[in-house]
Structure 1
Amino acid sequence: MKIYFTDFFNIECSKLEDYGAFNISLINDLPLFIDPFLLFGSKKSEYKELHNQILKYLVFLKDKSEIGVTNIGEIRSWYLFPEVKQNWFGYSKVGNGGSGLGEKFAKSFSSSMHIVFDDLGKEKITQSSHLEKACLFEIGVGKDNISDFTTNLTKEFLLDYTQEFAVRNVDEKLLRKVNVDKVYFDYELERWMPKEYVLPFIFNDYVILTPRDILTKDDNWINSNDLRGDFRSICNSISNDQLKHEINNYFTKSLPKHAGNKRNTQKEISLAVIETVKKYPEIIKYYVKLKEENKEGAKKISTKKVQETESKFITQVQKFVETLLEKTDFYSIDKNGSYEEAKKRLLFLKDVIENNDGYRLFYINHQPIKREEDLQIIYRLTWFATDYDVNRESNNGRGPVDYSISKGSNDKTLIEFKLASNSKLKQNLEKQVEIYEKANKTKDSIKVILYFDIPEYNKVIKILKELKIDKSPNIILIDAGRKKSASNVK
């Protein structure tokens, strides 16, 4: 069964590991991205140079912003980038398609350059400037934007890196000469230029490899969550006593006053932080300074996150497919309709998880998975070998359903995956899939609920009885709790 780069291109995993590249899935995006801080904090000269190239491009953009670039054509040329889907990282629940950087980001970023990077190239408090500062101001820039921007600005390095490995290790029949658009920026012509490469080629597209040591998960090292969460300690690190007093005073006054010494909510605190940062943007520099002083912490945390991702979405999925699913009829089911096939496969999945040690797929470091997004990706990686379309539904104005299994426009089954621990489980079961059914013009839907212990099971049963759907054949409960060894069962 082929799921990962090494599978499709017949490469020994050890070769890719020795090269330092991540073994991407060519079935589905995995939730990792390049953190530009890891380039800055690296001891490798090529990574440091990559960070310098990012800053050089930011200087170019800032110079243009200061003279008032309003031409929409120039903004599109310099700020708009497609998602580099060929690296197979990102937030797509099915496949590897993403939205990339659109006009909203471009206009927002362009108009805010002079605020975000006011000391670009002239830093006094921090060691360097950082692209991630853009997501610390309320200008419509999030971690996904930073990820797409970083990948595009390091694209030439990634293509060179991939070509070097591919030419040495991949069968030439699986390679193709490709003319890649927007590879490097020509500062004289002020435009992005194409370049030709010999790259691994599959599914009518080329593939890009990425070094493991520049990847992270969840958040950049410099991120708005840490800024808000550590705000008090950041303020206390400011050496200028007058500025420190003014900031703390403004922040305190920004917090709503409640009767009876009632504590402020997290939302109220976050809003007060945002207002204070707008008033005193110098705070950002002191926050970045603290982050710069802990480069090793950034590396250790990112390494741990990458290892956990490999364990969750590669090592355990491979073992699950090879030692359990392939020994059943899971991949040979061929029913007359999408509903029958979907349900049959889900029942096979349930049996493997509950009775054949498949539950181990859902544990990392002895802890059960906490995110439904992870559950959905794992499901997709195990479903791949079928001639049915397995698609992430587009948003029909009602929000996206987890999966749509279909064969033609008249045969579609919706599958909704939920964890029993979800605080909105009852609300979802009561309304969500029914709404999706109307939006997608299908009557067939299956709700799958994964639980890990007796309290979670009791919670689900109570909800199902309250909603009078506890006898529904379209609801499948899967017990992913730890099982005792057969030798210990009496």
Structure 2
Amino acid sequence: MKIYFSDFFGIDSDKLEDYGAFNISLINDLPLFIDPFLLFGSSKPEYQNEHNKVLKYLTFLKEKAENGLNNSSTIQAWYVFKEVKQNWFGYSKVGNSGSGLGRKFGKAFSSSIHIVFDDLGKEQVTQSSHLEKAGLFQIGVGKDNISDFSTNLLKEFLLDYTETFAKKEIDKKYLKTVNIERVYFDYKLERWMPKQFVLPYINDDFVIITPKDILTKDENWINSNDLRGDFTRICTSISNDQLRGEIFNYFRKMLPAKQPNQKYTQKERTAAIQKTISKFPEIIKFFIKEKEENKKGAKSIAEKRVELVDTIFVKNVSSFVELLLEKSDFYDIPPKSSFDEAMKRIVYLKDVIEKNDGYKLFYIDGKPIKREADLQIIYRLTWFASDFDVNREPNNGRGPVDYSVSKGSNDKTVVEFKLASNSKMRQNLENQVKVYKEANNTTNGITAILYFSTTEYNKVKKLIGELGIKEVEESIILIDGRRGCKLNSV
């Protein structure tokens, strides 16, 4: 069984735990990313040093922007980065390749950096500047961009961290000296420089490990959802009476005219909030100040989120794979057609989930998983031994399928994994398989639906009956994820 870093490099996972590193999957990205605030909030000198390095680079970019040095060549050199895919974190449902930071990001960030970081190095309200601040303005910078930018700026630290562990704990046969591009920035030459490292190496690429205590899931500690969701309270806490009054007055003017009994929609409120923030960027400073004052909260929440990912995608999946090895022929399927292999594996998954306590994989603290993306990653992690290619299909104009299982261009099966709780289940069942089969030039499609209650089961069965899709019903597999008693037949 080779799914995780410890499996591929023949080490005890406890050694990674003792070192403080996350035991990444080398089959698929896991939904974690680096939160720069955890560097700022840490008492570790090495983390504080990395936070200062980030600020130094932002200062450099801001000064260049103020001097008008934002042409296409400097944007390419200073703002555009490839994703550091070797850390195996992100949102790829198959593999570990993401889009990175392209020219669109570079143009957006470079044109606004002097506005976003207007008080860089001379903060009066906040204790420090923060890279995440860029994601609080409407400049086309999201959490994925912040994550990719952070990882690139921390690249030398992460490579040193990995090399130290590798030289001490990993057999030399798994190591290789690698010359890596764009590792550190030379401020005299004003360019990113390469550097050599001895690193774990497999499948023609090196691997990076990351400290668990700088990782989080879902959102950075400083994020736009919290800013907008807590907008009224944040503004109310501003002690300057005049400023506070001006903010609320402007906010009310930005809301559309309504009758006294009409309520504003969330979309209308969000638009008004965004306009108000753009007019009064001081709001962001007060928001960040509150975040800075709760460093312990940031650390505690991040730890819980990372532990959740570790439980779902490492501990639970490892236990589930052991069940598959013990209770089924999941990993001994002779290669026939892609449809045969995909269908048999789903049937084996169903059997282990329903009859051998495999349903426990999908529960955390007694509650079932809620995100289909998590279900799809779990499925990919279990499919680690096959002669067939298992890939995420690109968006072909009709939406991407979850997976495409193929062997050559003429043998392809599209596979959809869904939760019965999905509010768009009717639309999925009515159009999805047919549309995806047409779009991907394949005649085979499978939809697996996981349900956690009798109500969800009855809902799906009713939809199948109402839609009259008998001709593809054999390709719709219902999987009982309920705890306790099971239905006699599905």
TM-score range, shorter chain: over 0.9
Q: Which residue of 1 aligns with 2:237?
A: 237
Q: Is 1:161 aligned with 2:161?
A: yes
Q: Is 1:480 aligned with 2:456?
A: no
* Deviation beyond 2 Å, 4+ runs, structure 1: 256-260, 323-327
Superposed CA offset, 1:52-98 (max 9, x none): 00000000000010011232111100000000000000010000001
Superposed CA offset, 1:390-440 (max 9, x none): 000011222210000000000000001111111111111111232221221
Superposed CA offset, 1:184-217 (max 9, x none): 0000000000000000000100000100000000
Q: Which residue of 1 aligns with 2:78?
A: 78
Give the deviation of 1:126 after TM superposition: 0.2
The aligned amino acid for 2:218 is D
Q: Output the CA distance in 2 between the equivalents of 1:240 and 1:23.
A: 48
Superposed CA offset, 1:205-234 (max 9, x none): 000010000000000000000001000111
CA contact (8 A) 2:404 2:414 kept: yes
Q: Output the CA distance in 2 between the equivalents of 1:366 and 1:64.
A: 53
Normalization by structure 1: what TM-score? 0.97
Q: Which residue of 1 aligns with 2:347?
A: 347
Q: Which residue of 1 aligns with 2:302?
A: 302
Identity of aligned residues (%): 67
Q: Output the CA distance in 2 between the equivalents of 1:464 and 1:328.
A: 29
Q: How does 1:395-474 map to 2 (within 5 A)?
A: 395-469=395-469, 472-474=473-475
CA contact (8 A) 1:461 1:470 kept: no
RMSD (Å) for aligned C-alpha atoms: 1.1
Q: Which residue of 2 aligns with 1:113?
A: 113
The aligned amino acid for 1:482 is R
Give the deviation of 1:346 after TM superposition: 0.6
Give the deviation of 1:115 after TM superposition: 1.1
Q: Output the CA distance in 2 between the equivalents of 1:251 and 1:243.
A: 12
CA contact (8 A) 1:85 1:98 kept: yes
Give the deviation of 1:326 after TM superposition: 4.0
Q: Which residue of 2 aligns with 1:30?
A: 30
Superposed CA offset, 1:332-383 (max 9, x none): 1124200011111111111111111000000011110000000000000001
Q: Which residue of 2 aligns with 1:210?
A: 210
Q: Is 1:369 aligned with 2:365?
A: no
Q: Output the CA distance in 1 between the equivalents of 2:287 and 2:276.
A: 13
Q: Which residue of 1 aligns with 2:9?
A: 9
Q: How does 1:249-328 map to 2 (within 5 A)?
A: 249-328=249-328
CA contact (8 A) 2:437 2:445 kept: yes
Q: Output the CA distance in 2 between the equivalents of 1:66 and 1:428.
A: 50
Q: Output the CA distance in 2 between the equivalents of 1:325 and 1:363.
A: 21
Q: Which residue of 1 aligns with 2:52?
A: 52
Q: Which residue of 2 aligns with 1:96?
A: 96
Q: Output the CA distance in 2 between the equivalents of 1:366 and 1:455.
A: 18
Q: Output the CA distance in 1 between the equivalents of 2:384 and 2:262.
A: 52
The aligned amino acid for 2:199 is L
The aligned amino acid for 1:179 is N
Residues matched between the structures, number = 485
Give the deviation of 1:484 after TM superposition: 4.8
Indicate how the Cα distance of structure 1 residues 160 and 335 shifts in structure 2: closer, same or farther if over 3 A, else same: closer
Q: Output the CA distance in 1 between the equivalents of 2:436 and 2:137.
A: 36
Q: Which residue of 2 aligns with 1:130?
A: 130
Indicate how the Cα distance of structure 1 residues 454 and 388 shifts in structure 2: closer, same or farther if over 3 A, else same: same
Q: Output the CA distance in 2 between the equivalents of 1:119 and 1:168.
A: 43
Q: Output the CA distance in 1 between the equivalents of 2:434 and 2:69.
A: 48
Structure 1's unaligned 5+ residue stretches are 486-490
Name the SS for the 2:474 alignment partner. Answer: coil
